[in-house]
Amino acid sequence: MPRRPVLAADTPAAALRDYVLNAISELFTKPRVLPILRRPAPEPLPPLPLLFEDLPEQRRGEPAPVKPAPEPEPTVELDPRDFPNYALISRIVGDAIEPPSALTITRRRMKRERAEAAEAARAVEVAAVNPEPTPTVPALIVTMDMGPLHKAHRRDRTDPADRFDVGCPPFHLHDEEHVEPVDEFIGQVVGVEPARALLFRRHDPDFLDGCKVGQRYVLMRFHDDEEGQVWSMPVDGEDDPAVVEAIRRTTALYRWSKRGSPQI
């Protein structure tokens, strides 16, 4: 196989054109060897100067400056959570042991912080899996509507002007001749199933021992009580949960009077 011709990279274009024309005019042979272009080898770099050749002519170097002694590290107060036994050991052996370095103090602190963060994350996961039940207090609704006649206790029914109706309020403890109570009637509490619960605010100082003037109280008459006895309970507070709690305690006392101990 003939040797591949090599053309210099800087060959003029006219010479390349003549080479191509000559190659075309020649008899075709297979395989045809095509030329390649090659860049000339770069010139070698100048030699480097000899090392230390001019050293005797150089000026003798100045003596290195004396470095000052390092300042003592400031004493850092150790966290007893990171070094629980260091104070005891220091009192026993004194200066026989060196205090921990700043790097050791940082490592102990970061290790403790990582452990605390992991513990907090586990607590959050446990709380998310097993959330503690939060007691819900039903919303308190008070109305002046005493409801239909057939749902009222027989002692709550009145007959004004030959027409049966439910009194508003349907019962009181002041005077049997009074139609309305002396105290302020706030309304009937909606949603109390076993009884009719009425909410009052005390104005009469001679009524209901244990309840201050201006304090609220509830009066309840239970539907399954044939005698229609009225049960009372002061309300400790001005919020809705206090009224719900007073109704619950009154119901527990009524159930206890019927068959067992009250759960209060």
Decide which of 41 and 171 is more confident.
Answer: 41
77: helix, strand or coil? coil
Phi, psi torsion values for 192, nearest 5 degrees: -90, 105
Average pLDDT over residues 231-247: 87
Q: Would you place residue 107 in the very low, low, confident or very high pLDDT band (cuts 50, 70, 90)?
A: very high
244: helix, strand or coil? helix
Distance between CA atoms of 150 and 165, rounded to whole angstroms?
10
Could you tell me the residue ranges of all domains in the chain? Answer: 6-38, 86-129, 142-258
Looking at residue 55, its pLDDT comes to 61
Distance between CA atoms of 157 and 171, rounded to whole angstroms?
9
- Residue tagged 């050791």 (tokens): 104
Looking at residue 2, its pLDDT comes to 64
Average pLDDT over residues 153-180: 56
pLDDT at 97 over 60: yes
pLDDT at 174 over 50: no
- Cis status of the peptide bond prior to 131, with omega within 30 of 0: no
pTM, entire model: 0.43
147: helix, strand or coil? coil
Sign of the CA dihedral with 23 first, then 26, 31, and 33 last: negative
pLDDT at 218 over 50: yes
Average pLDDT, the chain: 77
Looking at residue 262, its pLDDT comes to 47
Q: Would you place residue 170 in the very low, low, confident or very high pLDDT band (cuts 50, 70, 90)?
A: low
Least confident of 53-62, 110-119, 135-144, 204-213: 53-62
Q: Cα dist. 123→112, 116, 118, 128, 130 in Å?
A: 17, 11, 9, 9, 10
Six token digits for residue 77: 């107060």
Distance between CA atoms of 53 and 61, rounded to whole angstroms?
17
Of 192, 230, 191, 199, the C-alpha closest to 216 is 199
